[in-house]
Amino acid sequence: MLLPSLENLACFEAAARTLNFRTAARAVALSPAAFGQRIKQIEEQVGAPLFERTTRRVQLTPLGLAMLPRARQCLAIAEDCLRTAMSPAPAPVELTLGTRFELGMSWIVPQLGKLTRRRPELTLHLYFGASDDLLRRLHDRSVDCAVTSARWSAASLAAETLHEERYAFVASPRLLQREEFTRPEHASRHCLLDIDATMPLFRYLADQMGGVGRFAFARHRWVGLGAAMKTLVLAGEGVAVLPLHMVAAELRAGKLKRLLRSAVLARDHFRLVYRRDDPRSALYAKLAESLRAAPIQ
């Protein structure tokens, strides 16, 4: 089936709107003869007259009346197509972002509404997991990107820097009333809380002071989450290195105290990590820009 040209449809619509061929011809910038030829072409294509014409009036045939709404719809779609091509809107995209539970709940989840308004083309799904789990899922492509301060050596990953992450070695005042902790040697009187046996958080202090071997803690407890560590530290169940953004309010309120205040803890950065072979690096740069706009909480 040979489809009518948009120019012929525009002539048909103009004639149907004005019911005057001369007026319609002027509206589409054609001579009356050329305009009449366009109408003849489209009538030949549909195989029947679209107009009843006399010397005194023009009116649509039943077929013309049936065709008019569809012709207008086709012209509107064509105009919208051209407008989109001239100023294209960003194509819709969905990403799965991995994050630690505490950071996701305190910083990323509160930003979702603002991110949607700022980048309506982006639908962001969340996955919560530990740092090693996030990196593993990046490699197996079950998440597209992840916010983490974990370190990695894989050349297959790339990253956008987001915010600096600072740390504090803390304990509750109630615990310190029972057992002081002013020197590394006092570790023998305390329980160290951390994520797991690799002591990823405590190393931000220990590596600055000669290594974990300098601290002979009475015992260790691995609890898997920073939030669980914080709860236990507040309850006086141990000491821990925690991200400063997690304990800043408690330090200001006197609910927690810094230990070994003269010690300088290492710092790190939150990064938006993604696979280097992912062709959407420009999208990740824009997402990182949006995330950087909100301070860590």
pLDDT tens digits along 259-281: 999 999 999 999 999 999 999 99
CATH 3.40.190.10 boundaries in the chain = 93-165+268-292, 167-258
181 neighbors 217 (Cβ within 8 angstroms)? no
187 neighbors 259 (Cβ within 8 angstroms)? no
145 neighbors 98 (Cβ within 8 angstroms)? yes
Residue with tokens 């789990």: 133
One-letter amino acid for residue 122 of the chain: L
138-154 average pLDDT score: 91
27 neighbors 14 (Cβ within 8 angstroms)? yes
How far is Cα 15 from Cα 33, in angstroms, rounded to an integer? 14
- pTM more than 0.75: no
List the CATH code of the domain at 6-86. Answer: 1.10.10.10
- pLDDT of 178 reads 94
- pLDDT of 151 reads 81
Q: What is the DSSP letter of 239?
A: B
Residue 86 host element (H or E): helix 62-86
How far is Cα 228 from Cα 118, in angstroms, rounded to an integer? 34
Confidence band for 119, pLDDT divided at 50, 70 and 90: confident
Helix (H, G, I), strand (E, B) or coil at 229: helix
Q: pLDDT exceeding 70 applies to what percent of the chain?
A: 98
Helix (H, G, I), strand (E, B) or coil at 105: helix
19 neighbors 58 (Cβ within 8 angstroms)? yes
Q: Which fold has domain 167-258?
A: D-Maltodextrin-Binding Protein; domain 2 (3.40.190)
- Give DSSP secondary structure letters for 241-284: EEEHHHHHHHHHHTSSEESSTT-----EEEEEEEETT-TTHHHH
Q: Which two tokens stand for residue 76?
A: 């509107």
One-letter amino acid for residue 289 of the chain: E
pLDDT tens digits along 238-266: 999 999 989 999 999 999 999 999 999 99
Q: Which two tokens stand for residue 117?
A: 């308004």
Correct CATH for 93-165+268-292 of 3.30.420.40, 3.40.190.10, 3.30.365.10, 1.20.120.450: 3.40.190.10
> In Å, what is the CA distance from 270 to each residue of 92, 144, 150, 240?
27, 16, 8, 20
For residue 57, pLDDT over 90 is answered with no
For residue 169, pLDDT over 80 is answered with yes
Q: Report the chain's C-alpha Rg in angstroms.
A: 34
Please list, in sequence order, all residues whose beta carbon lies within 8 angstroms of the beta carbon of residue 17, skipping any fewer than 6 positions away: 24
For residue 173, pLDDT over 90 is answered with yes
Confidence band for 84, pLDDT divided at 50, 70 and 90: confident
- pLDDT of 89 reads 66
Residue with tokens 């600055």: 208
- pLDDT of 88 reads 65
CATH 1.10.10.10 boundaries in the chain = 6-86
